[in-house]
Amino acid sequence: MTLDVDIAHRQGAFSLETRFSSVGRLTALFGPSGSGKTSLINIIAGLARPERGRIVVDGRVLVDTERKIFVPRHRRRVGLVFQDARLFPHMSVLGNLRYGRFFTPQSQRYASEEAVVELLGIGHLLGRRPSGLSGGERQRVAIGRALLASPQLLLMDEPLASLDEARKAEILPYIERLRDEMRIPIVYVSHSVAEVARLASEVVVLSAGRVAAHGPAAAIMQRLDLLPVEERGEGGSVIEAIVSRHDDTFDMTVLASGAGNIRVPRLDAPPGAPVRLRIRARDVIIATERPLGLSALNILPGRIASINAGEGGSMEVRIDCNGTAILSRITRQSLEMLGLSPGREVFGVIKTISFDRANMATGLRGEVDA
Amino acid sequence: MSWLTVLTPDEWNAVRLSVKVATVAMLASLPAGIATALLLARGRFWGRELLNGLVHLPLVLPPVVTGYLLLLAFGRQGPAGSFLAEHFGIVFSFRWTGAALACAIMGFPLMVRAIRLSIEAVDRKLEQAAGTLGANSVWVFVTVTLPLILPGIIAGMILSFAKAMGEFGATITFVSNIPGETQTLPSAIYTFTQVPGGDAGALRLTLISITISMTALLLSEAMARRVGQRLGAA
C-alpha cells in the first residue's frame, strides 16, 4: 500500500504542514506530544478537514482541496483505534465488534469475525459490557472493532499510551500479530521509542507540525537527536537477528546477527525465528582490546565509523560491526582517555541482561533495512 | 369507607380523560421535543436563543396567559385553528384534543430541558468513532446518540406526563371545563370544591391523582435505573 499525505492545516497558533509518502507495512508517526501526530491522524480519518492538501491511499483520493474532494469519514474505509478506546457503552463487546461490519458492503468485507477474535484473544469477552473490561481488554476490543469494518488502512492513535507497562506488554504481541497476519497497512502514532523500534518498518518523525525525518526504523532510531528528550536514553541501534539456539544450562538464547552472535535472556521462539533487537546506545561499552575478566557476554568486534557530539557532553560513536552499525553513547572523557577516532578497531560490549521484553521482538523479518 | 372506593361515572370519566390527555400530549410532543432539544444542544444558528426563550415561555408565563394565547391562535376564529379545521378537520377548541395541546405546550419546556441536558452529556467522541466505522450521521444518531440519551428521553416524557396530569390554568382557559370532553382531574377537583358537599369527591380524585403521579414517577425511576445499568454508568 502507499499512503501519500501532503497537507497544510492551521489550528489556532499551531500550524501543521506535512508531506510524506509511505509504503511500509507499519508506518510509525513519531514525535513528542504537541507535534501534530493526532491532528494528522484525525485529518487522515476524516475527523478534521485540512485547509489545503491531498491525501491518497493506494490511488484512492480521500482529500484533494484543489479538486474539492472530501470523502466523508464514513465512506473512507479508514479504521481508527483511539487512545481512549471509545467503545460504545450501550452495547456488548460483540455488539461493538459487529458495529462496523454492519456498514461494510458484503463484497468489501475481508475480516472474519472468528479470525479477528482469535487473533486478539477476546473470545471470552464477547458477552461482557465495555464497562467491565480492563484497559488492555478494552483496547483489544477497539482494535477488533476497527478491523471488522474491513478498513483499507488502519490508524492507531497511541493505543497504548493510557496503559501501564504490564498492560502494554500484554497488548504489544497482539499488535505484532496483527501487523504480520492481517494484510492491512497500519499507521501507528506513538511517542515511545520502545514501541516504534519494536513495531515499525518505517518511521515519520514529526516535530512542531513538520516532518523532521522519514526513513526505515533502524536508521531513525540511531538518530538520537530526533528522539524526544525524555526518550533519548531509549534510542540506539535496531538490528535484525535470527534465533540460532537455546542455551538450556544458562537459560539463554543465542541470536545470530550481522554483527555476530548475541546472547540474550531466553526467548520463547524456535530456532530460525526472526528477532528484532533494539540495543540502547547507552548500554554499549567500548573497549580498545578484547576485554578479559569481564562479566558481559557479548563482545562484538568492529571499526569506528563515525563520532558525533551528542547531548550533554556525551559522544555518539557508531561502530561498524561487519556491516551492521551499533551505536554507543559514551562520555567525552572516555573518548579522550581511549583516544578513539574513526577507523580505529574496537569492541562493542553489551551485557546480556540489558535485553528485556521492551527491546526484543519477534516477527517483521527483513523490513528493518528495507 | 365505601365513599372512598366507589367513583361516580363522571369521576371515572375525568380520570380516564386525564390519562388519555396526558398520554397523547406526551407522545405527540416527543418527536418535536427531541428535535428541539437537538437544535438547542447542537445547533449553531441565528435565533437559537430566541427559540430557547420561546420554548421556555410557558414555564414563566401565567398559565392563564398561555391558555388565552392558545385560544386566540387555535380557537375556531384563530388563524391556526381555522386553518387546521378547514384543511385537516382538526378542531381543538372545547375538545379533549385542545386539552392535550394545552398540556403538551405546558409540558414542552420540561421535556426539552431533560432531553437537551442528556444530549449535551453525550460524549461526541463516541459519535466520531461510529463515523469512522462507516455510519453516516443518521445511523450515528439512531445507533449511538439515541440509545445514550434514552434516560433523558424517559425523564422528559415522565415530566411532560406529570405536568399534563396536573395542568389546570391553560386547559380551563383554552377548552373550558366540560364534563366528559375537557374536564380533566384538576378541573373536576376544582368543580367539586365549588359545590356544597363536594368534599368527598374532591378527596377521592385527589387520592387518585396522587396515585397516578406517584406510579409514573416510580416507573420512570425504575426505567432510568435499568437503562443506566445497561450503559454501565451511575
d(CA A180, CA A193): 20
User: How remote is the C-alpha of A33 from its chain's centroid?
Assistant: 16
- Which of A99, A131, A149 has its CB closest to that of B232? A131
Residue B33 CB contacts under 8 Å (≥ 6 apart), including other chains: B108, B111, B112, B115, B156, B160
CA distance to partner chain A, nearest, from residue B41 (Å): 20
State the pLDDT confidence band at B5, using cuts at 50, 70 and 90. low
Q: Residues A280-307: pLDDT tens digits?
A: 999 999 999 999 899 999 999 999 999 9
pLDDT of residue B3: 61
Considering chain A, what percentage of its residues have pLDDT values greater than 70? 98
Q: Does A111 touch chain B (CB under 8 A)?
A: no
d(CA A230, CA A225): 11
Mark yes or no for CB contact A47/B132 under 8 Å. Answer: yes
pLDDT of residue B4: 59
Mean pLDDT of chain A: 89
- Three-class SS string for B91-103? CCCCCHHHHHHHH
Cell of A328: 554507543
Q: Which residues of chain B approach chain A closer than 8 Å at the C-beta?
A: 123, 125-126, 128-136, 139, 143-144, 147-148, 230-233
Cell of A275: 528477532
CA distance to partner chain A, nearest, from residue B233 (Å): 8
d(CA B69, CA B105): 11
Mark yes or no for CB contact A90/B231 under 8 Å. Answer: yes
pLDDT of residue B232: 58
Mark yes or no for CB contact A132/B233 under 8 Å. Answer: no
- Which of A74, A89, A131 has its CB closest to that of B134? A74
Class of domain A238-362: mainly beta
CA distance to partner chain B, nearest, from residue A52 (Å): 21
Q: Does A355 touch chain B (CB under 8 A)?
A: no
Q: Residues A122-149: pLDDT tens digits?
A: 999 999 999 999 988 999 999 999 999 9
Q: Start-end ranges of CATH 2.40.50.100 in chain A?
A: 238-362
Q: Does A88 touch chain B (CB under 8 A)?
A: yes
| CATH-assigned architecture of domain A3-234 | 3-Layer(aba) Sandwich (3.40)
State the pLDDT confidence band at A358, using cuts at 50, 70 and 90. confident
Q: Is the ipTM of this complex over 0.85?
A: no
Q: Average pLDDT, stretch B208-223?
A: 86
Amino acid at residue number A251: D
Q: Average pLDDT, stretch B95-123?
A: 94
pLDDT of residue B28: 95
Question: Do strands A298-309 and A284-287 pair parallel, antiparallel, or not at all (unpaired)?
Answer: unpaired
Nearest CA in chain A to B135: A74
pTM of the model: 0.81
H helical segments located in B6-144: 9-42, 48-60, 63-74, 79-88, 96-121, 124-132, 137-140
Check pLDDT > 70 for residue B78: yes
Indicate the domain borders of chain B. 2-229
Check pLDDT > 80 for residue A30: yes
Answer for the pair A55, A4: CB distance below 8 angstroms, yes or no.
yes
Q: Does A96 touch chain B (CB under 8 A)?
A: no
Mark yes or no for CB contact A74/B147 under 8 Å. Answer: no
Mark yes or no for CB contact A88/B136 under 8 Å. Answer: no
**Residues A3, A44, A235: CA angle, nearest 5 degrees:** 70
Question: Do strands A202-207 and A26-30 pair parallel, antiparallel, or not at all (unpaired)?
Answer: parallel
From residue A87, give the alpha-carbon distance in Å to each of A146, A210, A212, A316. Answer: 11, 32, 34, 45
Q: Average pLDDT, stretch A209-234?
A: 84
Mark yes or no for CB contact A80/B233 under 8 Å. Answer: no
**How many residues would you count in chain A?**
370
Nearest CA in chain B to A154: B132
Q: Average pLDDT, stretch A198-221?
A: 89
d(CA B55, CA B36): 9
Check pLDDT > 90 for residue A318: yes
Answer for the pair B71, B78: CB distance below 8 angstroms, yes or no.
yes
Q: Residues B146-191: pLDDT tens digits?
A: 999 998 999 899 989 999 998 999 999 999 888 888 899 999 999 9
Q: Does A133 touch chain B (CB under 8 A)?
A: no
User: Could you say which DSSP state residue A76 is in?
Assistant: S
Check pLDDT > 60 for residue A368: no
Name chain B contacts of A72, Cβ cutoff 8 Å. 131, 136
Q: Start-end ranges of CATH 3.40.50.300 in chain A?
A: 3-234
Check pLDDT > 50 for residue B143: yes
| CATH topology assigned to domain B2-229 | MetI-like fold (1.10.3720)
Amino acid at residue number B189: I
